[in-house]
Chains A and B, each alone.
Chain A
Amino acid sequence: MARSVSPRRKLINTTVAWAIGLLIFFPILWTILTSFKSEAQAIAAPPIFLGFDWTLENYRVVMERSDYGRFLWNSIIIAGLSTVLGCIIAVPAAWSMAFVPSKRTKDILLWMLSTKMLPAVGVLYPIYLLFIQMGLLDSRFGLVVVLMLINLPIIVWMLYTYFKEIPGEILEAARMDGATLRQELIYVLTPMAIPGIASTLLLNFILAWNEAFWTLNLTAVNAAPLTAFIASYSSPEGLFFAKLSAASTMAIAPILILGWFSQKQLVRGLTFGAVK
């Protein structure tokens, strides 16, 4: 609904918007700045905003202490595969819900969402025992499956709303041309749904990346992602603000960069495509 406004109005709007944006972003900015300070300057009173001695010491210490690369790689693999796997399972389901709706479609959708309401900690022991039985503890595969299942309802939902936007006439035309169901899905629907699928992938990648209960409790060495990396820096003796900030920055930087580059898709993804 963008309209043309007077330059004065635009200036006021710009100022207010930037102020709010910076305010919301400030905690992250402050963390990043603190990660470049020495421990003493990190807790200096009054706080130093920019005029401190910039140092990479904290990053050096963190890199020396932890195998950051392995945590990062695990995060990428686990978040990435669980999202991809989730999409593969969710696309057909969402397709059929969107194009062959039955009376129960909405119930099934809502039921799927309600499975997300089980409190995770309540089922820690059952799941842990199950994982021991299946030999899945500390395996990336086990985490991929769990995170996929956790996010599956959201994926189905998002895809469902995207698919609903695709006009049914196109499908009928394809069917007239003698396309089989499989061809219809692969050659007609998928290309049209690519933007929607992309944003679904992106949002779920973020959700999987930030998941911190199962990724902490079901891993030890081999599969531990960045959430476990952070757990080894939170509240060590002496509250090292600067090192904590460096570790935090390292944990969020990859996803922050990914998010910034794909901001446009994400905007679309988050709206579930349904809100026009």
Chain B
Amino acid sequence: MSLKSTLSAATALTLITAGGAFADAHSATITIATVNNGDMIRMQGYTDQFTAETGIAVEWVTLEENVLRQRVTTDITTKGGQFDIMTIGMYETPIWGANDWLVPLNDLSAEYDVDDILPAMRNGLSHDGTLYAAPFYGESSMVMYRTDLMEAAGLEMPTAPTWQFIREAAAAMDDPENEINGICLRGKAGWGEGGAFITVTGNSFGARWFDEEWNAQFDQPQWADALNFYVNLMNDYGPEGYATNGFNENLSLFNQGKCGMWIDATVAASFVTGDDSTVADSVSFALAPNAEGVEKRANWLWAWALAIPAGTQQEAEAKQFIEWATGKEYIELVAANEGWANVPPGARTSLYETPEYQAVPFAKMTLDSINAADPTDPTVDPVPYVGIQFVAIPEFAGMATEVSQEFSAAYAGQQTVEEALAKAQAIATEVMEAAGYR
């Protein structure tokens, strides 16, 4: 191939691809960035129905959680305009809403029935009373445990256990010979992984991230109590390498029958009782625990929600999609095709009033857990922030990831709990000073 022909061929191809990029933009296509979890992937499967009903084509950008966050945040802060709908969480929504980066969802249709959204979810996805994202599903956290193992151990799980009971039960169910760990909990670094779990555990021991003057509180005894309790519990009865276990790893362990208990997101309930689980028939549920005498429990509140970035050219179409995906009809659609246990949970009051859904074993406990969580009053002592397993300020994600890395290092035995807390205190103080809170 001569240089000249290579050159002209390449130029031609370049022009074609450049042209193709523009030609690809149809008017009735919306682009949605979403996370690759089970419920979202199921929704993608039903997109054809939406397109058939409305004539609006949908392009999916499905990414794993960390990549998604990085991708949508870059795009929204720079007004890149790559997406018509973004899948975001309860942490991002109020912050982005406050910056006017999202289209307010205050003119949704009557049949969408926005008042049907669970109040806790609606509050968490609003800023100054305006809804900025519609919950696709919502979750809290709760105890999932093996009834067969509890029975064998001669114990009975109360509806609202304490941490002390959890430890006792873990000790009784722990059976290394048969590869059964008494308890599986998240230890993986990351604010949304182990960071979220240890924060709610802290809450349930009376700890908090900041006092009302934004002073970091990791030097307080409540944090030492919480972290020491967690580390001892996991070292004694937790799985090997728990410092790198997140939601996925624990789900996999629990489904293989390797955990007596697992305290995690309520959405896991449909997986541990589903087809992929080897212990589906012997799982039951209880409220997340608290330390004795502490009124707050270790349950968080989270929702994956759909939001429309301000400035999109397809606002009307995007709203149409959101109404479809988070509306009552979608729930019925999934129920009809895959059974009630598989519908997206935790978003709508009406779902929990449906008799068929009330028959699902985890429905009541999920609702109770969600209702027990209050993002505006997350801790025993007053705090200046909103959010239970997070602090709804822009600096939190980075700071909490670093803090949880120090904690994970303590879980792995690379430093002591005291060292980890001292470093956490330094990190939080440094960040708050840099951000001008103090």
Contact = CB atoms under 8 A, between A and B. Distances in A.
Contact of A190 (B2, B62, B249, B251): B2
A222 interface: yes
Nearest to B256: A43
Q: Which of A131, A190, A237 gathers most chain B CB within 10 Å?
A: A237
Given A128-B78, A141-B18, A239-B251, 13 more contacts: A88-B10, A128-B80, A138-B21, A141-B21, A144-B14, A220-B61, A222-B20, A222-B21, A222-B24, A228-B61, A235-B248, A237-B248, A238-B251
Given A220-B83, A223-B21, A231-B63, A125 B74 contact: yes
Nearest to B82: A220
A65 interface: yes
Contacts of A234: 64, 67
B44 interface: yes
Contact of B276 (A39, A131, A140): A39
B415 to A, nearest CB: 26
Nearest to B274: A238
B82 A91 contact: no
B28 to A, nearest CB: 15
Interface string A57-89: 000000001100000000001000100110110
B438 interface: no
B32 to A, nearest CB: 10
Interface stretch (B34-42, B154-162, B423-431): B34-42
Interface string A33-47: 000000100010000
A139 B25 CA distance: 11
Interface in B286-327: none
Contacts of B116: none
B64 A238 contact: no
B21 A43 contact: no
A217 interface: yes
Contacts of B255: 238
Contacts of B18: 139-141
Interface of B: 2-4, 6-7, 10, 13-14, 17-18, 20-21, 24, 31, 33, 36-38, 41, 44-45, 59, 61-65, 67, 70-71, 74, 78-83, 247-249, 251-252, 255-256, 271, 276
A124 interface: yes
Contacts of B7: 88
Contacts, number: 119
A214 B383 CA distance: 40
A232 B62 contact: yes
A107 B256 CA distance: 60
Contact of B41 (A77, A223, A236): A236
Contact of B64 (A129, A220, A235): A235
13 contacts: A132-B78, A137-B80, A141-B14, A141-B21, A221-B24, A221-B59, A222-B21, A222-B24, A223-B21, A232-B36, A234-B64, A235-B65, A238-B276
A224 interface: yes
Interface residues of A, number: 43
Interface SS majority for chain A: helix
A185 interface: yes
Contacts of A231: 63-64, 67
Interface in A80-113: 81, 84-85, 87-88, 91
Nearest to A74: B17
Contacts of B249: 239
Interface string A212-245: 0000110011111000100111111111000000
B300 to A, nearest CB: 17
A84 B63 contact: no
A258 interface: no
Contacts of B37: 236-237
Contact of A237 (B63, B74, B251): B251
A85 B63 contact: no
Contacts of B81: 132, 137
Contacts of A233: 36, 64
Nearest to A121: B70
B308 to A, nearest CB: 15
B248 A77 contact: no
Contacts of B24: 221-222
Nearest to A87: B6
A223 B25 CA distance: 12
A237 B247 contact: yes
A141 B65 CA distance: 27
Contacts of A129: 78
Nearest to B24: A222
B168 to A, nearest CB: 29
Contact of A236 (B6, B38, B44, B59): B38
Nearest to A124: B74
| Shortest beta-carbon contacts, A-B, top 5 | A139-B21, A141-B18, A232-B62, A140-B17, A220-B82
A39 B255 CA distance: 12
A186 B5 CA distance: 11
B63 A232 contact: yes
Contact of A238 (B2, B21, B33, B271): B271
Contacts of B276: 39, 238
Given A88-B10, A137-B82, A238-B38, A81 B17 contact: yes
